[in-house]
């Protein structure tokens, strides 16, 4: 890599001048006016050798280093143009035009995919756990954010040579399920509604039906606490706490999905428990089908789904077997005393004998490791769970240091606020994700009707809408809150997904026109007095690989978003100022346009965003 090359020659130059061995730090320049890379090696060296230094200031030392670099180390280096010293002692490096053009050639020679980030020196097995929607509820924007973020993070890890496993842990048992089941039963009784009638509805409508049931159950919980708690207890015993195995309770039954006993040929009516279990199985599957529609729509496919119901029993067992080792009894509850580790105490098994979320995590950790023996497991969850995860990770580490120590990470995620909307699934004030998509699509379709987007197709409208939502989420730092504005998200002029998609479509339009006009013309690169805008694009193309590496290393898709927006702005300025087809250096400018398009396409793909060929 070029950074390592610069670091090596800097180290030699400093050694020659001062006799000191200093490890240089080389960074990519944020401002092209200051070259492509910079180092503060002169300031660091001057500070370390101030008393014995023959140099009066860091700048003087930087100037001497630059003189030596340009006369000895860079004179035969075709990659570098020159080094220069600036106040208060930084050393800037500029890549040569020939080297930048070589970078463009590499992009163009890769027909399928552009050159991605440098492969990790030691590729890792990384599990990314994200999405986490609870069954029996509609998907809300918080789940949407972790779904979008997790997929982008997973793609960035994959691009840098790691083996990635996509995991999704879902709550399919507990009080929220009992409330939804209670509400569904009430709606069906009051409306004399058969389950088969609901079954015929689209997945989104079935999910809406479950959401209505949950709201009723939540609102009536205090009045009917005993009944709803009994539903919760029975489901827990049948699904995750009793003798019924997962394979048994997931097996489909034959009478409207409600009567397991029907499989045996008996004519006995189903018991109350069998009806409850059957209703649970069917409604659970409704939720999973509904969520899968979103996974497809957001271009995500999980390697494995993990469920709360399958970890409750074994989580309790693990905790109880380690009382006196990792956990302690405390007046009937089983707790983890975190104070000696700088953490706080949390309950893992309640007085009633139920494992808490923390207790279930103990089993989940082992199940996830069994499915994919990871080097790193990243949980993308809201920032409010930070304290929870610190305790959970410490408990897992104490249970099995080899499997878990230093391998579990919480990627803390901020909230999503939809401007002009209040959101609460408990009260029913919720903007469903599919409704949000439709709102954004309506805005996209309006742009199409106004002629601002030429391509008037449902597929393109969908790609732009999903891209608008994803980019609005990803361009904000993961730990920060997102203020989502529907109209701004589809802007063709600001920092938005559609603006970048439009720029890509513009590059394809240029290429299509060139191919029509010059179908037999052989393109070659010619380098003569490149314009400022051309050099700026070449520099951005060259740095793409580094940007992907940085975004992946820091779990920060927003770094890639910022880069793509900057590249799009640079290309549109170039497009406005210079004639591409029929102008000077036509061949070079067409190739440059092609290279920019490929970078944008592959950059968007790493964010999980489609790049329409026409807009």
Phi-psi sector, 23: left (phi>0), alpha (psi -120 to 50), beta: beta
Strand 482-484 versus strand 416-418 pairing type: parallel
Residue 223 has pLDDT above 90, yes or no: yes
Could you tell me the residue ranges of all domains in the chain?
2-95, 126-171+302-418, 175-297, 433-606
Question: Which CATH number applies to 2-95?
Answer: 3.30.1360.70
pLDDT value of position 154: 98
How do residues 450-495 score in pLDDT, each as one tens digit? Answer: 998 887 789 999 999 999 999 999 999 999 999 999 999 999 999 9
**C-alpha to C-alpha distance for 62 and 30, rounded to whole angstroms:** 20
Spatial separation of the C-alpha atoms in residues 81 and 492, rounded to whole Å: 37
DSSP reduced 3-state for 523: coil
Q: What is the pTM of this model?
A: 0.90
Residues composing the chain: 615
CA distance 366 to 399: 10
Mean pLDDT, range 359-388, rounded to an integer? 98
For residues 151 and 123, the model is more confident at 151
Contact 398, 367 (CB under 8 A): no
DSSP helix, strand, coil percent of the chain (3-state; round to 5): 55, 10, 35
User: CA-CA distance, 170 to 310, in Å (whole number)?
Assistant: 10
Contact 538, 100 (CB under 8 A): yes
Is there a contact between 376 and 124 (Cβ–Cβ < 8 Å)?
Answer: yes
CB hemisphere CA count around 321 (13 angstroms)? 9
Between residues 281 and 140, the one the model is more confident about? 281
Reported as a single tens digit per residue, the pLDDT across 165-206 is 999 999 999 999 999 999 999 999 999 999 999 999 999 999
**CATH fold for domain 126-171+302-418:** Rossmann fold (3.40.50)
pLDDT at 232 over 80: yes
Using alpha carbons, list the distances in angstroms from residue 561 to 22, 94, 167, 611.
Answer: 35, 25, 24, 14
Question: How many other β-carbons are positioned within 10 Å of the β-carbon of residue 229?
Answer: 14
Neighbours of 342 (CB within 10 A): 8
Residue 53's pLDDT band, with cuts at 50, 70 and 90, is: confident
Tokens of 595: 């290279």
DSSP state at residue 216: H
Label residue 550 left, alpha or beta by phi (over 0 means left) and psi (-120 to 50 means alpha): alpha
Give the number of other CB atoms < 10 A from CB of residue 192. 7
Tokens of 575: 């497009």
* Tokens describing residue 142: 């918080």
Q: CB-side exposure of 3: number of CA atoms within 13 Å?
A: 16
Domain 433-606 sits in CATH at 1.10.730.10
**What per-residue confidence (pLDDT) applies to 420?**
76
E strands, 325-432, in order: 328-330, 333-336, 346-349, 376-382, 408-413, 416-418
pLDDT at residue 254 is higher than 90: no
- Start-to-end C-alpha separation, the chain: 37
Chain Cα centroid distance, residue 151: 4
pLDDT tens digits along 323-360: 999 999 999 999 999 999 999 999 999 998 989 999 99
**Res 115 pLDDT > 70:** no
Query: What's phi and psi for 561, nearest 5 deg?
Result: -60, -50
Sequence-ordered list of residues with C-beta below 8 angstroms from that of 420, at least 6 positions apart, any chain: none
Least confident of 26-40, 75-89, 251-265: 251-265
Least confident of 67-76, 349-358, 387-396: 67-76
Strand stretches in 267-332, DSSP E: 304-307, 328-330
pLDDT beyond 80 at 269? no
> What is the C-alpha to C-alpha distance for residues 451 and 459, in angstroms, rounded to an integer?
17
Angle between helix axes 532-553 and 586-606 (nearest 10 degrees) is 20
Mean pLDDT, all residues of the chain: 90
Nearest to 548 by CA among 166, 158, 126, 30: 158
């Amino acid at each position: 890599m070029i950074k390592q090359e610069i670091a090596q020659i800097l180290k030699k130059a400093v050694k020659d001048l001062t006799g000191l061995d200093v490890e240089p730090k080389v960074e990519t320049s944020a401002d092209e006016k200051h070259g492509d890379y910079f180092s503060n090696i002169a300031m660091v060296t001057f500070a370390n050798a101030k008393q014995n230094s023959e140099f009066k200031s860091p700048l003087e030392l930087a100037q001497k280093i630059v003189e030596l670099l340009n006369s000895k180390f860079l004179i035969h280096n075709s990659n570098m143009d020159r080094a220069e010293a600036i106040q208060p002692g930084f050393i800037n490096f500029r890549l040569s035009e020939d080297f930048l053009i070589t970078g463009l050639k590499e992009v163009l020679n890769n027909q399928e995919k552009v050159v991605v980030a440098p492969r990790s020196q030691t590729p890792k097995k990384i599990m990314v756990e994200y999405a986490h929607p609870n069954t029996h509820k509609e998907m809300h924007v918080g789940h949407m954010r972790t779904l979008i973020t997790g997929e982008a993070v997973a793609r960035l890890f994959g691009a840098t040579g790691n083996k990635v496993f996509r995991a999704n842990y879902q709550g399919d048992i507990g009080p929220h399920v009992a409330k939804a089941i209670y509400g569904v039963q009430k709606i069906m009784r009051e409306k004399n509604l058969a389950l088969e009638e609901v079954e015929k509805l689209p997945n989104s409508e079935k999910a809406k039906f479950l959401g209505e049931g949950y709201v009723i159950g939540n609102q009536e919980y205090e009045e009917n606490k005993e009944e709803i708690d009994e539903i919760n207890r029975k489901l827990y015993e049948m699904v995750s706490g009793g003798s019924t195995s997962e394979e048994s309770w997931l097996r489909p039954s034959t009478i409207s999905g409600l009567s397991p006993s029907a499989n045996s040929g008996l004519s006995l009516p189903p018991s109350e428990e069998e009806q409850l279990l059957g209703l649970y199985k069917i409604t659970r599957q409704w939720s999973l089908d509904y969520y899968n529609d979103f996974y497809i729509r957001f271009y995500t496919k999980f390697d494995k789904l993990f469920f709360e119901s399958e970890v409750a029993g074994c989580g309790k067992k693990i905790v109880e077997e380690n009382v006196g080792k990792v956990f302690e009894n405390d007046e009937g509850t089983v707790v983890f005393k975190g104070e000696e580790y700088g953490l706080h105490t949390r309950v893992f098994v309640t007085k009633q004998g139920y494992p808490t979320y923390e207790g279930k995590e103990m089993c989940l950790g082992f199940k996830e490791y069994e499915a994919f023996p990871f080097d790193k497991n990243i949980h993308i969850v809201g920032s409010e769970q930070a304290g929870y995860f610190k305790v959970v990770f410490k408990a897992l580490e104490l249970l099995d240091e080899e499997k878990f120590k230093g391998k579990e990470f919480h990627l803390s995620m901020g909230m999503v606020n939809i401007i002009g909307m209040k959101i609460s699934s408990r009260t029913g004030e919720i903007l469903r994700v599919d409704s949000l998509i439709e709102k954004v699509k309506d805005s996209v379709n309006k742009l199409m009707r106004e002629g601002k987007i030429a391509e008037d197709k449902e597929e393109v409208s969908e790609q732009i809408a999903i891209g608008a939502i994803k980019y609005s989420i990803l361009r904000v730092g993961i730990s920060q809150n997102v203020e989502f504005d529907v109209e701004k998200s589809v802007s063709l002029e600001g920092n938005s997904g559609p603006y970048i998609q439009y720029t890509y479509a513009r590059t394809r339009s240029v290429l299509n026109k060139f191919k029509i006009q010059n179908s037999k013309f052989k393109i070659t690169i010619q380098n003569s007095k490149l314009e400022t805008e051309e050099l700026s694009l070449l520099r951005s193309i060259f740095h793409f690989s580094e940007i992907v590496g940085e975004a992946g290393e820091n779990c920060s898709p927003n770094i890639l978003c910022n880069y793509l927006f900057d590249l799009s702005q640079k290309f549109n300025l170039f497009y406005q100022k210079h004639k591409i087809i029929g102008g000077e250096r036509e061949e070079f400018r067409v190739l440059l346009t092609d290279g920019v398009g490929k970078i944008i396409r592959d950059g968007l793909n790493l964010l999980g965003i489609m790049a329409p060929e026409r807009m």
